[in-house]
Structure 1
Amino acid sequence: MRTRFLSKMTNGEVEEYLDRNDIIYVPVGVTETHGALPLDSETVLAEAIALKMAEASDGLVLHNLPYFFPGGTIIGRGTIQMSIKDGMAYLDKIAKSLLKQGFRRQVYITSHGPAHMTVSGMVRDFFDETNVPILYMDVLKAAEAAKFNLMDAFHDMSIGAYKVLGRLEDVPLNVPESNSVTYDVQHMLAGMGKNPGNLLGKYAYQSGAVGSYFDAPSDHMATPLLKTPEEREAYADAGVQAINEFVKALDMPTIVETLRQADVYTKENSLHKYGELLQGVKA
């Protein structure tokens, strides 16, 4: 295929694809302070992973969704705020449009911790309204399921994602927020510890326990100090390899086939037995 990004295809190319398949990956991003990396780094990571997933399972990618709930990083003036409920409503409109277009198998991808509060609710409400199962894959949880050590490779993958998308030069060099002698992970943890709300975060998943803000923009995501283009390239190459290994470990062909089977089961089993009780089923 010339491209797997929906917005880069012609309508004819999309219709030709839909004649043979119905899979689309939707990376949902965020624009927020992120150490020495560009503000869209967690959007780019989700997009790069989605592209590799699409390549592994003959799917398309609907990208350019960078403005969703950021969490406690709103104290950074580069961070774009979007409420959870507004983000859910927007995604719901997109999901229903995609379904009407013929994309029955939809997979939503995020690499941002608080994103589950937006995407999980939309995915479940969508199912109850349409009776069509769509899938949400949180990269953090997916890595656990695939027994992939994500955190050790996270910085490499974040930089490698820009290379996957042909944007490596967008990653700047010699940025003050980098992980240097004066700015390291311990500094970040110390800053986070200043807000008592962070002591309560362990009682639910990610940012879903209690509202809190970072003490300073620099407290979010210490990142490597990149001094030269050669260092950046080395991180990127390691990151591309890690992304490929991660997607391979997930086995996307099996996942999208299981999603198809879930759809068949819903139609032939659940709706057959309980259709009159289930929201979204017309008499």
Structure 2
Amino acid sequence: LKRYLSNQEIEAKGPSSLKLAANKVKRNVWPLVVGVIVVVAGGVIAFLATREQPKSTVKDPGPQPPVLATNPPPVEDTAGRKAAEWYGAWIKLTEVLDFDDWKAGDAGLAERANKHLTALKAEAPLRQPDVYDWFDRQTSKVETQAGRLGGGGEEKRAAAARIVGWCDTILAAAKNVDFLKRQADGAGKLRADAARVANYKGSFTLKIFVGPFAEVSKVTRNGKDVALSQRATPLILGNLEIGDFEIELTHPQLGKKVEKLGEAQLKDGRAYQLSGRFQDPKLRMTELP
């Protein structure tokens, strides 16, 4: 004041920068608060980032049940799968149905094959030509074998009996399967031809001498008529196939009588004589030397 009154220069010291800053802070404290928060937050983030994380152990849940498809496969996929399954099973059946490999004794084979063939139209209709061709090849193969059965003998009879058994199986397998009718008919004819060879026991000659005389009105073998070119006795019937015979004789005054010859009485290549009086209760059957 004295310096002022005496007109001397007055030097006034302003407030220090620290005080100015303090005053500013007092007037506006929020920038400081925000700064502190930023610094603290940065430190926390840095701490968490650099801290070693503890290892966690995940328990194995074990095998999971399969996930079931909720949508059914397309119709064409289902049909294709059925056809493939049908054909695969058919191939297995042909391995035992094939004539070359077939063996007697499987009583259920024909039934299994018939059931499978009956299902063909529903499960694998496009495979019908394959099955048709297989039956064609088999019947052709058997026809070739049947053509070699001539000449007789035990070996030929055994081969014929095998053809009969195979045909029986095939006929039962193709029963009521319409598209195999032609092959079934062919197998039936092959069976009949082979059966004649398989059942052949040989042949014999029969001489009939009946007094005073008689007419041979009828001769049957296993219930079937035997063709006769002559009928009046004495009569010789040659090359008769062994079997069960009935011989019917007639006489104008003495009537009719029937003589029976059993298969067990007859031998291949032998000759027999049926003789006696018509009025006798029974004629004599003699094996000739």
In the superposition, the TM-score normalised over structure 1's length comes to 0.24
Report which of the two has the higher share of strand: 2
**Greater C-alpha Rg:** 2
In the superposition, the TM-score normalised over structure 2's length comes to 0.24
The structure, 1 or 2, with the larger RCO (C-alpha pairs under 8 Å, 6+ apart) is 1
